[in-house]
Amino acid sequence: MTKKLIGISLSGCVADIVKGNVADVTKIEIVAGTSARGNDIWQRLLEDYADQRWCYGDYDPQECVRVAQQLKDAGKIEPP
């Protein structure tokens, strides 16, 4: 039986993926309260997260932006 990982924090899940705490991102789904309707708003949200949330820790904020965009493009981020 294959387990599916469900995360509830976009910033926390992306940070965990970048840190290597999630082995198989194909089995992840993020159900987060993050709401960004439209690409412009999404891009601003990623910039804000990079500046305010992902700039702390042992990982590259731009890598977090890249991973978040990949997850969005793959349909892995859902609203609650």
For residue range 51-62, list pLDDT tens digits in order: 888 777 777 889
How do residues 4-43 score in pLDDT, each as one tens digit? Answer: 778 888 888 898 899 888 878 888 888 888 777 888 999 9
Q: Taking the model in full, what pTM does it have?
A: 0.84
Alpha carbon distance 36, 18 (integer Å) = 22
